[in-house]
Structure 1
Amino acid sequence: MQGVIWLNQMLASQRDVAELVRRGSNGCIRVLSSHGSDREDIFMTADEHLVEPQEAVEPTFGYAEWALNTASSKRVNGMVAMRHRKKLIAARDQFSAGGVRLAAGAVDSDTIDLCDNKDQFTVAMKAAGIPVAETIAADNLEELRAAITTIAATGTEVCVKPAVGVYGRGFWRFVPGLNPFSLFTTIDGNQVDPEFYLNAYARAATTARLIVMQYLPGIESSIDCVCDDGSLVAHAVRQKLNDRQVVFTGGREVDIARAVISELNLDGLINVQTKADASGNPVLLEVNTRPSGGVGYSAAAGVNLPLACARMMLGERVGDTSLASPVVIRRSDLTYVLPRATAALSGWAA
């Protein structure tokens, strides 16, 4: 047995990450999965699982101390952390002293905060010489209107999204003069007249911080990366093509990802987003210091990034993860039985 990798609660990819590590290592790497809820669908892909204690029940509960004790008792060698990762990062030296390689997206909490604050992130990346979309934060109606005017003055279209969010929720592209009724007649597009948006915003009872950005017309790329304290170890670029995705390695998108990873000392399994401008040049959009929901997709093309991350954390040779040429993949949802939930219905009558 080569080692034990612990995956604590992630947003969307925990099941896939566990399955790909186990499958890719032929069972040589054991996976421990934990979650705040009894998620049988996630636990069934791990070798061992546990439900994490809840702070609401135990107000004085110290997550980092519990994690250190659990890692010791379970003989964990590496931990891919998402839940309470700032608490875990604060105990990074203690994990290291216990022989546990912690991978939490970054080596310090300030970097996680920087990547979560898109306007501050933009300033930092521009200062580092990395091409990044112009971004302005807005906390009220006046700031929102001013930000739209400022971005529009750069000669590009304007878009907006929540300062904090996932899955593209709340993203809108501003199209002046667009008929507002199109919001109810189109399935995709997320386009809206800016004045209609501003009027709706003004009527909102409460509002959260928004990010106003340049809208880039080119293709969007999602670069899933394995990094080791600022060094890019393995990666795969995914670009959507209608109902399919093109997966490849190398290219200008990766050059940007490598520069960001080095600048911020990113660490673990993370995701970089770029989009091409009108001239086809990739521009940095954002960095997610966590595994993306689609981090497992590229494994179908031959690049198993969760396995590469596990090997890196165990001090093993990752090996060649490059692709000779692009590969087209298509995602198909799977349906599976939950054995424990099914067994619990033994006394149930329809």
Structure 2
Amino acid sequence: MNVLFTKNFSVTAAQLHALKGTRYAVWASHTDPGHGMLAAADHTFLEPRGLLGDDYAAWLLDACVRHGIGLVVPGKERERLAGWQGRFAEAGVTLITPTTEAVQRHLERKDEFLRGWDTDILPIPRWATFDSLASFDEAAATLRQPGVRLCVKPARGIYASGFRVLMDTPDLKSFLGGELYQMSHAAARELFAAGELPTMLLMHTLEGAERSVDCVAWQGELLRAVVRRKGGEGQQIEDRPDLVEAARRISAHYGLSGIFNFQTKDGPDREGRNRTPNMLEINARASGGLRYSLAAGVNFPLLLLDAATGVLDRAALPPVQTGLRVAEDKVARIVREQEAAV
């Protein structure tokens, strides 16, 4: 069966490589002819630039019919495409979107997500929103607590864009050491006074271990979850039944299908030790670090596609290999030959 992965981040290439030698013929599309996704796929075609919303969805449906695509795992316009599943199905194409458009938008808006989060699953750090210098000062006054640092990040964003831990005073040692994610409280105030702000989050900075949990689910059923502890050289694949149970509840609560990820960080327990995982955010997409979790013996994209096509043998799901230290080995691949100069 032909499966298409549409325009997405370059880390999607790891999923395409994981499908080599399976029953699926891997296709990829992108607007950039030199993108790494295209180098990783067996078959490729280009997407037109500038198409958005329903116009993009209509183009994608037509492209799938023309190329004989049976399954689509979308990256671009993933939210809007959720409303097109019926039309794709009528054309004989299974379109895999994480959940409804409304739920996807809810998860993308981190302030809405935190406001509606069920803390019976995992606690969350104290937080507030701001969109001006005045509301930043008010939020900081509310959240300030001895021995607790504050951090800021946009309510909408990917990876660590806009994230900073706030320091009471400038820290020369951190600056000289190349620390990118710190800034002084005074510098933050100056920045936030300079112009109109999007909705931002101000939160307590948790000082414990940071984890990323990669999950694959189908129609609200968790198939597998891999817990990665960050820090040091590489990442540690951990055995954490508590976080796997949280993944199961998240899958069911939001009715998720596909590969998704959530981030936690340890905060103080009742004894004041940083051992209690707190929820930070859920991303209804594959994480940038999924390649680490693939090394734990779980072929995330294969499980997803097998579930979508009804051939998944749940009794034979592979175990997660834990206790591993996983490091990254980057490889350069030829996308296309350089044209000779005239």
TM-score by length of 2: 0.89
Pairing of 1:102-121 with structure 2 (within 5 A): 102-106=95-99, 108-121=100-113
State which of 85, 88, 99 in structure 2 corresponds to 1:92. Answer: 85
SS in 1 for 2:290: coil
Q: CA deviation at 1:31?
A: 0.9
User: How far off its partner does 1:140 sit?
Assistant: 0.7
Instruction: Answer with 237-246 or 131-140: which moved more.
Output: 131-140
Match of 1:123 in 2: 115
Q: Which moved more, 1:131-140 or 1:263-272?
A: 131-140
Alpha-carbon distance between aligned partners in 2 of 1:66 and 1:264, rounded to the nearest angstrom: 28
Mapped to 2, the partners of 1:215 and 1:40 lie a distance apart of: 36
Residue of structure 2 aligned with 1:233, choices 205, 223, 228: 223
Root-mean-square deviation (CA, aligned residues, Å) is 2.4
Q: Which residue of 2 aligns with 1:179?
A: 170
- The answer as to whether partners of 1:157 and 1:214 remain within 8 angstroms in 2 is yes
Q: How many pairs align?
A: 335
- Larger deviation: 92-101 or 116-125? 92-101
Aligned 8 A contact 1:33 1:48 in 2: yes
The aligned residue for residue 38 of structure 1 is: 33
Q: Distance in 1 between matches of 2:125 and 2:322?
A: 29
Query: Equivalents in 2 of 1:139, 1:40: separation in Å?
Result: 36
Opposite residue 83 of structure 1, the aligned amino acid is K
Alpha-carbon distance change, 160 to 154 in structure 1, aligned in 2, over 3 angstroms: same
Query: What residue number does 2:13 align with?
Result: 15
User: Measured at CA, do residues 258 and 146 of structure 1 come closer, stay the same or move farther in structure 2, by a change above 3 Å?
Assistant: farther
SS at match of 1:266: coil
Aligned to 2:272: none
Separation in 1, partners of 2:48, 2:296: 38
- Which amino acid is 1:190 matched to? Y
Partner of 1:200: 191
- CA-CA distance at 1:98 after TM superposition: 3.2
Q: Deviations over 1:189-222 (max 9, x none)?
A: 62333233213322x2443321111211111111
Partner amino acid for 1:266? Answer: L
Q: For residues 143-200 of structure 1, give each alpha carbon's deviation from its aligned partner in whole angstroms, at most 9, with x where no partner exists.
A: 1112222222598432111222223132112232x33545632312623332332133
Residues 325, 236 of structure 1: alpha-carbon distance in 2 compared, 3 angstrom cutoff: closer
5+ residue gaps, structure 2: 270-274
Q: What letter matches 1:6 in structure 2?
A: L
2:246 alignment counterpart: 256
SS in 2 for 1:31: strand
> Whole-Å Cα distance in 2 between the matches of residues 246 and 334 of structure 1?
21
Pairing partner for 1:310 from 299, 305, 311: 305
Calculate percent identity across the aligned residue pairs: 24
Which of 155, 180, 189 aligns to 1:163? It is 155
8 Å contact from structure 1 (residues 162, 211) kept in 2: yes
Give the superposition deviation at 1:249: 5.0
1:226 Cα offset (Å): 0.8
Q: CA separation in 1, counterparts of 2:309 and 2:34? A: 27
Mapped pair 1:328 → 2:325:
yes
Question: Is the Cα contact below 8 Å between 1:31 and 1:47 reproduced in 2?
Answer: yes
The whole-number CA distance in structure 2 between the counterparts of 1:157 and 1:255 is 30
Inter-partner Cα distance in structure 1 for 2:57 and 2:150: 42
3-state SS of 2:28 partner: strand
Corresponding residue number in structure 2 for 1:247: 237
In structure 2, the CA distance between the partners of 1:199 and 1:62, relative to structure 1 (3 Å rule), is: closer
Between 28-37 and 317-326, report the one with greater CA deviation. Answer: 317-326
Once the two structures are overlaid, the 10-residue window that deviates more, 227-236 or 121-130, is: 121-130
Tell me the residue number matched to 1:151.
Answer: 143
